[in-house]
Chain A
Amino acid sequence: MSKRPSVIRQTIMTPILLIVVLLIMATLSYQFGSRAFNRTAVEMFINIMVVVGLYVFVGNSGLLSFGHISFMCLGAYMTAWLAIPPVMKSITLKGLPTWLLHTQLPMWVATPISGVFAALVALVVGRVIMRLSGIAASIATFGLLGVVNNVYSNWDSVTGGQGSIVGIPPTMNVWIGWLGAAVAIAIAYLYATSRSGLALRATRDESVAASASGIDIVRERLIAFVVSAFIIGIAGALYAHFLSIVNPGAFYLRTTFITLSMLVVGGMYSLSGAVTGVVAISVLIEFFRNLEKGISLGTLKVALPNGAQEIAIGIITIVILTYLPAGLTRNREFSWRGWPMLRRLSRPVQTAVKELN
């Protein structure tokens, strides 16, 4: 009997390639980019974390989630509670428990705690929501987003209400952004090749056959939900350190849809697609932002009117989806040799239709 080739050996190139390409981008940005450009780069890395986190759940389970940005919110506020100096906290966030009011943790400690906090919430909520499937599950995750946003915008003594909380140490830079994205990609890859990840993809493509083979759909979905919440919680924590302020409006519909668009534009069923989508849209945004500022063509200065950036991005998204409905990567992974397994799995489109019908 010939030995089966190991999944890891066949597929390990994908995450390595992605991480190396991102490292090259970080280096270029650090060497040649302006301060503003570096901030864009950090934002891109944070978005990569969020979208990769989304991919862990959406890509592997085939369920669309509108609720994952609430984990970003949970992570960001947890970091705010942990990292703001106690002097400031005692003025703005009086309702916090005393022990929390007197702690101040450095970024390296606060960030993982925020991720774990988001994952714990996901574990509790997921036990309920993951019993649903199809569009009902999507709406239930949307309900989660609504609940979290409503609570965080109105629980004034603990979250500062609609306003912003300031004072989180702004310790983000390109390298930490890259490291975060690399960790997210590594976790997503390890999950996708794990026993649970493979089982979950089986339920995505043929849920009846999968459960007949003894796969517990609810359990596998819950695992993916918790893992993705952890990644997105960390992303939220880094986002808080990046902006040094948090407010609930940043973690609501706009972010939800933009990150989902990035995922779908890249290709929602592949890790490479998640990363590609973010990079492509971030590059487009930066490009049009510069056009709005104006470029000089000889003596002529041409500038797009304000707001043209968003309109152009929307139109380009529609055009991409028209010609590549499965996203830029067509749901395939980057690698030297191609990923035969994924290539066969890359047509789960029909299943999603069946779920909705």
Chain B
Amino acid sequence: MTAVLQIIFDALSLGSLYALGALGIALIFGVMRLVNFAHGDFIAFCVFAMLWPSIDATAVVFAGMLPFYLLIPLLLIIGAALSILSEIIVFRRFRNANPATMMIASFALGFVIRHLLLMLYSSRPKSITLWPGLGLPVDFLGAHIPMLQVVTIVITLAALAVLVLFLKRTRYGLEMRAAADNFTMARMLGVRANGVILLAFAISGMLAAAIGLILATISGTADINMGANVMLIAFIATVIGGLGSVPGAVAGGFIIGAASVVFQATLPHDARVFRDAFVYGAVIVVLLVRPQGLFAPKSAKQRV
């Protein structure tokens, strides 16, 4: 029983991370048809923003020393600002480009950000301690659950709730959903394209910052590659959930998180190192059964 509970919490917390990432990708894809491969580097950027640039082995914690009620908003603003800047400087020029071209442009942008970070901070992972109290376990029905997992799940659920309220109840949310459904039609009905796209980028950047914070707290290190893995899985999650569908992206994230944890727990010991191969294999199988994704929006059907 406790083992099952532990697996459930592992799955939920890992799934939360992937869901937040998938959301950041799905929002931008919805309004722009852009698969943002720079998202992972946005995450890494937000983590490194807590450190003072130096190539020494020991990290000079800078913004990371702030109390949490200042640090969290600051990082969210940094994430949003980076994301908005990249829209204005780069992606705005690709509005009418072929998706492959946009994808490569976003990859090139991520490449630039990553090597900027490498130049400023060197490639060595640096230790960074945020809120050590969160590492302590709490007892929950007899299982030892790290406090951090609970916090991660709660934060994700809260972020999702806020986002759902925003999308369903506010004017801007309505505009964004309309734009994701049919961008041209929405523009004709008076939705300002630039506003909606900037908003989507801002939210996506904040989500990247949130992932960065959670990852840094979990791992206790700042590593240049930390965003890339989440980004890839999140990207796959959006496709499995149905590209362009916001709830689908979240569900996709949780499903992949759960699949990884369950494979990890149930595969025989020798096969455990091949867990990722099983996860990717499962992705291919899911796509073969439902190529348009599990929760594809109706508008995603190809019209002839």
Q: Could you list which residues of chain A lie within 8 angstroms of chain B, going by C-beta atoms?
A: 64, 128-129, 131-136, 139-140, 142-144, 146-147, 150-151, 154, 208, 253, 257, 260-261, 264-265, 268, 305-308, 310-311, 313-315, 317-318, 321-322, 325-326, 349, 352-357
Q: How far is the CB of A331 from chain B (nearest CB, A)?
A: 10
Q: Which residues of B contact A354 (CB under 8 A)?
A: 302
B94 touches A322 (CB 8 A): yes
Partner of B97, one of A139, A147, A305, A321: A321
Contact of A147 among B96, B243, B280, B288 (CB under 8 A): B280
Given A134-B291, A321-B105, 20 extra CB contacts under 8 A = A132-B287, A135-B239, A139-B235, A139-B236, A143-B280, A143-B284, A147-B276, A147-B280, A150-B275, A150-B276, A257-B37, A261-B108, A264-B100, A310-B112, A314-B108, A315-B108, A318-B108, A321-B104, A321-B108, A352-B98
Q: B94, B107, B288: which contacts A261 (Cβ < 8 A)?
A: B107
A353 x B99 contact (CB < 8 A)? yes
| A314 and B115 contacting across the interface, CB-CB below 8 Å | yes
A340 to B212 alpha-carbon distance, docked (Å)? 52
CA distance A257 to B110 in the complex (A): 11
Residues of B within 8 A of A134 (CB): 291, 302
Could you tell me the distance between the alpha carbons of A308 and B118 in the complex, rounded to whole angstroms?
10
Interface centre among B100, B300, B302 (most CB of A within 10 A): B100
Q: Chain B residues in contact with chain A, CB under 8 A?
A: 33, 35, 37, 90, 93-94, 96-101, 103-105, 107-109, 111-112, 115-116, 118-119, 228, 232, 235-236, 239, 243, 273-277, 279-281, 283-284, 287-288, 291-293, 300, 302, 304
A139 touching B287 by the CB < 8 A rule?
A: yes
Question: Is A308's CB under 8 angstroms from B100's CB?
Answer: no
> B287 touching A325 by the CB < 8 A rule?
no
| Known interface pairs A314-B112, A315-B112; A356-B277 also in contact (CB < 8 Å) | no
Known: A353-B33, A354-B302. A150 touches B111 (CB 8 A): no
Q: Are the CB atoms of B104 and A136 closer together than 8 Å?
A: no
Cβ of A357 and Cβ of B115 under 8 Å apart?
Answer: no
A252 CB to nearest B CB, Å: 11
Contacts of A357 in B (CB 8 A): 33, 300, 302
Q: Nearest CB to that of B123 among chain A residues? A: A307
Known: A308-B119, A321-B94, A321-B105. A131 touches B288 (CB 8 A): yes
- Most A CB within 10 A of own CB, among B107, B108, B288: B108
* B186 nearest CB across to chain A (Å): 14
CA distance A64 to B33 in the complex (A): 15
Distance of A146 Cα from B228 Cα, bound (Å): 14
B21 to chain A, nearest CB (A): 15
CB-CB under 8 A from B35, the residues of chain A are: 135
Are the C-beta atoms of A64 and B105 separated by less than 8 Å?
Answer: no
| Given contact pairs A317-B104, A357-B300, A307 touches B115 in the complex (Cβ within 8 A) | yes
9 cross-chain CB contacts under 8 A: A128-B288, A135-B243, A136-B291, A136-B293, A317-B111, A318-B109, A325-B96, A353-B99, A356-B99
Distance in Å: Cβ of A55 to nearest Cβ of chain B: 12
Instruction: Tell me the smallest distance from the CB of B205 to a CB of chain A, in Å.
Output: 19
Expressed in whole angstroms, the Cα–Cα distance for A306 and B55 within the complex equals 12
Name the residue on A nearest B281 (C-beta). Answer: A147
Pick from B98, B116, B243, B277: contact of A311, CB under 8 Å? B116
Q: Indicate if the CB atoms of B115 and A310 lie closer than 8 Å.
A: yes
Q: Does the CB pair A352–B107 fall under 8 Å?
A: no
Report the bound CA distance from A311 to B115 in whole Å: 6
Chain A residues, Cβ within 8 Å of B33 = 353, 356-357
Interface centre among B90, B104, B112, B273 (most CB of A within 10 A): B104
Least distance between B15 CB and chain A CB atoms (Å): 18
Chain A residues whose C-beta falls within 8 Å of the C-beta of B236 in the assembled complex: 139, 142-143
User: Chain B residues with Cβ under 8 A from A305's Cβ?
Assistant: 119
Contacting residues, chain A, for B112 (C-beta < 8 A): 310-311, 314-315, 318
Least Cβ–Cβ distance between A213 and chain B, in angstroms: 15
On whether the beta carbons of A140 and B119 are closer than 8 Å, the reply is no
Residues of A within 8 A of B274 (CB): 150-151, 154
Q: When the two chains form their complex, are residues B99 and A306 in contact, meaning their CB atoms are under 8 A apart? A: no
Q: Which of B101, B280, B304 contacts A264 (CB 8 A)?
A: B101
B203, chain A: closest CB distance, angstroms: 22
Inter-chain contact B104/A264, CB cutoff 8 Å: yes
The 10 closest A-B pairs by CB, nearest first: A146-B280, A314-B112, A307-B119, A310-B115, A154-B273, A150-B277, A143-B280, A317-B108, A314-B111, A136-B291
Considering the chains assembled together, what is the distance between the CA atoms of A143 and B239 in angstroms? Answer: 12
Q: In the bound complex, what is the Cα–Cα distance between A325 and B118 (angstroms)? A: 29
Known A133-B291, A140-B284, A154-B273; judge A311-B108 contact (CB<8 A): no
CA distance A318 to B94 in the complex (A): 10
Asked if B101 and A325 sit within 8 Å, CB to CB, the answer is yes
Question: How many angstroms between the C-alpha atoms of A314 and B37 in the bound complex?
Answer: 13
A223 CB, min distance to chain B CBs, angstroms: 20
Shortest distance from the beta carbon of B156 to any chain A beta carbon, whole Å: 23
A151: shortest Cβ distance to chain B, in Å?
5
B54 → chain A, closest Cβ, in Å?
15
Q: Is A321 a contact partner of B101 (Cβ separation < 8 A)?
A: yes
Which residues of chain A come closer than 8 Å to B107, judged between CB atoms? 257, 260-261
Instruction: Report how far A135 CA is from B238 CA in the complex, Å.
Output: 11
Question: Cβ of B105: which chain A residues have Cβ within 8 Å of it?
Answer: 317-318, 321-322
Given A321-B105, A355-B302, answer yes or no on A144-B284 (Cβ-Cβ < 8 Å).
yes
Known: A139-B239, A307-B118, A357-B300. Contact between A129 and B284, CB under 8 A?
yes
**CB neighbours of A142 from chain B (8 A):** 232, 236, 280
Residue of A whose beta carbon sits closest to that of B104: A264
In the assembly, what is the distance between CA of A306 and CA of B300, in Å?
Answer: 45
Which residue, of B239, B283, B284, has the highest number of chain A Cβ atoms within 10 A? B284
Residues of B within 8 A of A307 (CB): 115-116, 118-119
Q: Which residues of B contact A264 (CB under 8 A)?
A: 100-101, 104
Q: In the complex, are the beta carbons of A314 and B109 less than 8 A apart?
A: yes
